[in-house]
Amino acid sequence: MNLENQIKKAEILIEALPYIQKLYGKTVVIKYGGNAMINDDLKNSVMEDITLLKYIGMNPVLVHGGGPDINKALQAFDIKSQFINGLRVTDSQTMEVAQMVLVGKTNKEIVSLLNNKGGKAIGLCGIDGRLIECEQYKTELDGEMKDIGFVGNITKINSKVLELISKDEYIPVVAPIGVGPDGQSYNINADTVAGEIAAALQAEKLMLLTDVEGVKASKDSDSIIPALTIAEVHELINNKVIDGGMIPKVLGCVDALEKGVGRTHILDGRIPHCILLEIFTNKGIGTMIMKEKKLYHEKEVLY
């Protein structure tokens, strides 16, 4: 390796310095899902990113989904999957399988991967310490409220256990299972869980790893909007530029911001080391949603 390449590597590290200073000791909540949970190379990339965040002084909290693993398990048990408004209809059999897979398989695999990278991960779900309290969620279909089974609507996050773990040397890994007043388990959308946990912890960042590049400038455009305010998000929804499955993601970001989260991000989890590229480079990747376009430092690029 010649000296010029070595100097370029040093410049990359120096570019990261203001962000390390800004985020030292701060909480970063990451929702892990999509293709990044399926592809082995991407799995390793995400775990390396999260471990690095911990070692340089941040407090990462990982919330994961597990739809593909649940689908496989349901097929093995010959249980059919049904979705209404993007939510899995969850009867008692489906709930048992979802809890078994998310808590017993997916969660522990992620914990193991982080530990193998040198992190100290601890797996949790919403039942532990009543971390995620919820009630039954009902969705509207054809003008009527539809019962979709054991799907949870979060009523409270008891965040003390996450604060104790994340501010120590550990990385919490949270499965999106909540608990009702009677002890009944509920399946909850992982994006929703991540947003509510970020709000409860007053996180500096909420990062949603997805299978899209970010929010597009228009339906016919390939260009991604690097930064949006809350007002601009609502305008894009009204103009139907943001539609479909992107709406709940951006509204989840908006809700987290309104509850005190510093910045929120929609990232393409198919890009290796997407977390580091967003946090530690001046331009970043994906779409950042914020209350107002305020720079961390003068070299940051938001346009």
Annotated binding site for substrate: 66-67, 88, 187
Q: How far is CA 254 from the centre of its chain?
A: 14
Largest separation between any pair of C-alpha atoms in the chain: 68
What is the chain's percent helix, strand, coil content, to nearest 5? 40, 25, 35
How would DSSP label each residue in 48-99? HHHHHHHHTT-EEEEEE--HHHHHHHHHHTT----EETTEE-B-HHHHHHHH
Could you give the 3-state DSSP secondary structure of residue 208?
strand
Enumerate helices (H) and strands (E) in the chain, giving the number of each. 10, 14
Judge whether 150 and 185 are in contact, CB under 8 Å.
yes
CA distance 225 to 222: 10
Q: How far apart are CA 187 and CA 249, in angstroms?
A: 18
Three-state SS at 291: coil
